[in-house]
Amino acid sequence: MGLTVREALQLREMKGIKLIAGKQGIDRDIKWLTIVEVMEDITRLHEGEFLITTAYGWNENSVTYTKLVEALANRQLSALAIHTGFYLDVIPITIIEAANRTGLPLLEIPRTMNFSMVTRSILEQLVNKQLSMLTYAQQIQDELTSLVLKNTGFSAITDALSKLLNSNITLYDKNGDLVAGTYYANRNYRVEETYPITAETKTIGKLCIQKQTPLTSLEHLALKHASTIFAIEFLKLKIVEDTRSQIEADFLDTLLSHSYEDRDYILKKSRDMGFDLSGVNRVAIFSSSNLVLLEKECHQQLVTSRTKGIVNRKIDHVVVLFTGDYVPFTNKKTPFPFHAGISSSTLGIHYLEEALKEASTAHQFAKYRGETILNYEELGAYQIFVRLKESGEDLSTYYTPLLSQIIDYDQKHQSQLMTTLETFLENNLVINRTADKLFIHRHTLNYRIKQLEKLTGIDIYSYEQRIHIQFALLAYLTDRILSK
């Protein structure tokens, strides 16, 4: 971001200097100016330096100095200027060819021109450009920082940057979602660039710039400062969101544990937070192998369905309070596997603790059945034994008399008679459908049914007798699922 070789050659004091080779590098930036009489250690030279030399000794071995030109080009110098008439009257063709080959601008300074004239004119321009850039940088910094301090948000900062660059600016977050943008209609934008926004080596957003002309050094500087400002805004927004989420999570814990005394105060606080809990509410519990992704999906579903709710990620599950009867989740194909249990509807906040228990129960049954989502109401007759177990009742007294022999047989022989019984009853005693579900032949299923009848002493095809074993199976499964 300095004076280019092309711009230097256009200075009035530089009119006598000729560009004789390396024209492809004429737009290189000059970062500083160095005068060297004898080339002893080129490692001291740095990228962007404008090197002036009298080429002492170069006429002795042009091959050696051809390699020197290639080495200087590798150092990424901005240009090599040879002051002829001292040790070289004419620059050797091999050096010219090396400059053309490497793209290093090769300039000839005539003997009649003083070193001081060249150095002064270039240094003046470099200092003036640096001062101009510092002033411009300070102006950008002051203007954009002022907008941040006024808490004007992304749109105002984007608008200000758009005016500074006279271009279209669009801002995206790390997920590629549009955050803010400014657009000038009826313009033919020939240049489009993307500028990353980073924080702690991580990309947290990006700027897309559409412009009619290529970005200048000053405009690149403006983007650098703007990127820092946008990074601060993104980080500030994250802090605000994290704080809000934590406040909501703490509030949800208070609600679900019923650890409050003043109901009216809690309802007022919920309204201040943007949630009306005086109507119908539901509680849900979700689990997945990736809780971070699951929590994000819960938030996304709330936003896209315009449903009010509070999300709280725990150690091994996510709790969601839905304000309203609508739950924006279905058993249809999901982007990743999860299990969810949803409570029945409850009015107000008094029974939210009970709703949490229902959601937990439904969630455990959903995991056992391999279902994505299960509503508590769908448990049907299981609810009877759920309430009995929650009240401290020993459910084994309801199933041991009938099922103990099946349990003992399965444990002794590593068989699946209990699973067979459960699947057979679920499929309404249909042999083919049950066999398909169990991945066994129907003859194998018939053999297992006879074993079940023998162990229990019940005719499974008799409705009066079968109702007893179904009752016992409900108690057994409830005890097994909720004891995990």
The CATH number for 323's domain is 3.30.70
Closest CA to 398 of 379, 381, 378, 419: 381
Same domain, 323 and 367: yes
Same domain, 374 and 395: no
Out of 335, 360, 379, a domain closes at 379
Does 145 reside within a domain?
Answer: no
Same domain, 304 and 359: yes
Instruction: Write the DSSP string, 373-416.
Output: EEEGGGGTTHHHHHHHHHTT--THHHHHHHHHHHHHHHHHHT--
Q: Terminus-to-terminus CA distance in the chain, angstroms?
A: 67
| CATH code for the domain in which residue 230 is found | 3.30.450.40
Give residue 48's domain range: 3-124
Please tell me the predicted confidence (pLDDT) of residue 330: 77
Does 250 reside within a domain?
Answer: no
- CA–CA dist 466, 375 (Å, integer): 27
Count of structural domains within the chain = 4
Please tell me the predicted confidence (pLDDT) of residue 430: 93
Same domain, 404 and 471: yes
- Per-residue pLDDT of the chain (484 residues), as tens digits, is 568 899 888 888 888 899 999 999 999 988 888 888 887 788 889 998 999 998 887 766 666 778 888 899 999 999 999 998 888 888 889 889 999 999 999 999 998 888 788 888 888 888 877 777 777 777 777 888 888 778 788 888 899 888 888 888 999 998 888 999 887 655 567 778 899 999 888 999 999 998 888 887 778 878 888 888 899 889 988 888 888 889 998 999 998 988 888 889 999 999 999 899 989 999 999 999 999 999 989 998 898 888 999 999 999 999 999 998 888 887 766 778 999 999 999 999 999 999 999 999 999 999 999 999 999 999 999 999 999 999 999 999 999 999 999 999 999 999 999 999 999 998 989 999 999 999 999 999 999 999 998 999 888 898 888 999 999 999 999 999 998 7
Does 183 reside within a domain?
Answer: yes
Please tell me the predicted confidence (pLDDT) of residue 183: 73
Closest CA to 90 of 62, 50, 113, 115: 62
Please tell me the predicted confidence (pLDDT) of residue 473: 94
Amino acid residing at 337: P
Same domain, 228 and 284: no
Same domain, 265 and 301: yes
Does 189 reside within a domain?
Answer: yes
Question: Strand pairing of 168-173 and 79-83?
Answer: unpaired
Same domain, 400 and 357: no
| CATH code for the domain in which residue 65 is found | 3.40.1390.20
Does 251 reside within a domain?
Answer: no
Out of 207, 239, 271, a domain closes at 239
Same domain, 396 and 374: no
Please tell me the predicted confidence (pLDDT) of residue 146: 83
Does 456 reside within a domain?
Answer: yes
Please tell me the predicted confidence (pLDDT) of residue 44: 87
**Residue labelled with tokens 């990127």:** 227
Q: What angle do CA 333, 288, 423 make, to 5 degrees?
A: 65
Out of 81, 105, 124, a domain closes at 124
| CATH code for the domain in which residue 433 is found | 1.10.10.2840
Same domain, 326 and 414: no
Residues 332-357 have pLDDT tens digits of: 667 789 999 999 999 999 999 999 99
Same domain, 196 and 261: no
* CB contact set of 308 (below 8 Å; sequence gap of 6+): 274, 275, 276, 302, 322, 323, 324
Same domain, 281 and 334: yes
Same domain, 277 and 373: yes
Does 369 reside within a domain?
Answer: yes
Does 56 reside within a domain?
Answer: yes
